[in-house]
Structure 1
Amino acid sequence: MRLRLSRIHHPVTALGPGRRIGIWTQGCTIACPGCVSRDTWPADQETEVAVAAVLDWCGTVDPAGVAGVTISGGEPSEQPAALSELVAGLAGFQREYGWDLLCYTGVEENEFADRCPEVYRSLDALVTGPYRAGEPTDLVWRGSANQRLIPLSELGHSRYDEWVSAETSAPAIQVQVADERIWLIGVPGRSAMSKVERMLADRGIRLEGVSWRP
């Protein structure tokens, strides 16, 4: 089975509790206006990798430095078979090391469960709903007020219940530099992306293209 993969990174500290592995799928037809990850929209077959290769990569990370895995995108539920195989493989790490599995989706809970029933039963928590630029929020790990953080398992409740209604005035953002690209990891607050662009410009770094603009 092959998965359209945008990127994979560790450690991720801005999309869930603790130090995490982040897996971003490639391809999204929801296309929310104002999305900061427009680069993940095209369902480019050239980005396909074997699910087994992704799991092998996860196995190279010191498990003591991982609290869980966050799957985002793109829209993960648009690859239900590959996502199911990925989550089934990650469940081994979940059982052996206590990693929790968090997934972001731009659809609502019921639709995600219909699209990916096996995945839904295996996740510890789910962030649901499309990004709506006109509904800003201070909710942790969410970009707009309509989005919900839903614990789904006993482990999920133990790790995520305290964060369901938690707010922050300064959302965490990470910066990763790879292949002459600057990747921002996290859910930016209002006007954060413009501030980042100005900050880089002040340091002589000009962005040739930014994924959050049409």
Structure 2
Amino acid sequence: MRDATGAPALRVSQVLGPVTALGPGRRLGLWVQGCPLACAGCMSRHTWDPAGGHDVSVERLARVWRRGLADGYDGLTVSGGEPLEQAQALAALLDTADQVRRDAGRADADLLVYTGWEEPEIAASPAASLALRHADAVITGRYRAGEPTRLVWRGSANQRLTPRTGLGRRRYGPHLDRRTDHPELQVQVTQDAVHIIGVPRPGELSSLARDLTARGLTFQENTWRP
């Protein structure tokens, strides 16, 4: 995808930071728009429609990433939606993000991508493989609501965290089998929405919604129910 000037662009749902529930440290979180996988129980149904969201140039996203690095962010997490549905634009984003971190003297800031694609599907797609060449780690696999897990940063037991670079192995190696009894969920409030960030266990979103309602926050709609 390209913007009106012909520059590489992604269809984006939202960009938020700092994010602390989707990877190690304080991170920039980018959610792409559009997902044909439509996993049952997905908490981000609002990212499914490819006509939703808005086009954002890679150049503009690079500026946001650069500011995040200057503020001490430890990494970039790309989720969705399905990032590999925009493989060419994702390749441009990660290529640029890699260059930005090097120019900023922050080669220690990692790039993490969530995808519902399985590893064999990625390996069979030259475009997907190219898109992920600068990713330090990838979390792969469809979300399966019937297979809950306590593995950190993963929504279901089938999903795999795979380091792909030396930085990825150093940063994510200690977490491959790490489990937690209390997965972290973030709540960020913007002008028109309350954003719940993280990987919840079954029932946690409804419980959180009830708690917020009891505190006087009324939901007109949410993103995890049809």
Which residue of the other structure, out of 17, 23, 30, is the alignment partner of 1:16? 23
1:16 and 1:205 mapped to 2: Cα distance?
Answer: 28
Tell me the CA shift for residue 212 of structure 1.
0.5
Which residue of the other structure, out of 43, 60, 63, is the alignment partner of 2:50? 43
Note if 1:141 corresponds to 2:153.
Answer: yes
Tell me the CA shift for residue 201 of structure 1.
1.1
Tell me the CA shift for residue 62 of structure 1.
4.5
Unmatched tracts of structure 1, length 5 or more: none
1:125 and 1:111 mapped to 2: Cα distance?
Answer: 16
Deviations 1:14-73 (A, max 9, x none): 000111111110100000000000010011266111111111122222435111111000
TM-score if structure 2 supplies the norm length?
0.91
Note if 1:72 corresponds to 2:79.
Answer: yes
1:51-200 paired onto structure 2 within 5 Å: 51-63=58-70, 65-95=72-102, 96-97=105-106, 98-113=108-123, 114=125, 115-200=127-212
Q: Does 54-63 or 177-186 show the bigger shift?
A: 54-63
CA RMSD of aligned residues (A): 1.3
2:128 and 2:150 mapped to 1: Cα distance?
Answer: 29
Unmatched tracts of structure 2, length 5 or more: 1-7
1:64 and 1:177 mapped to 2: Cα distance?
Answer: 20
Runs of 4+ in 1 over 3 A off after TM superposition: none
Where 2:88 maps in the other structure, the secondary structure is helix
TM-score if structure 1 supplies the norm length?
0.96
Identity of aligned residues (%): 46
Tell me the CA shift for residue 205 of structure 1.
1.2
Where 1:122 maps in the other structure, the secondary structure is coil
Residue pair 1:18, 1:68 contacting (<8 A) in 2 also: yes
Pairs aligned (count): 214
Aligned to 1:25: 32
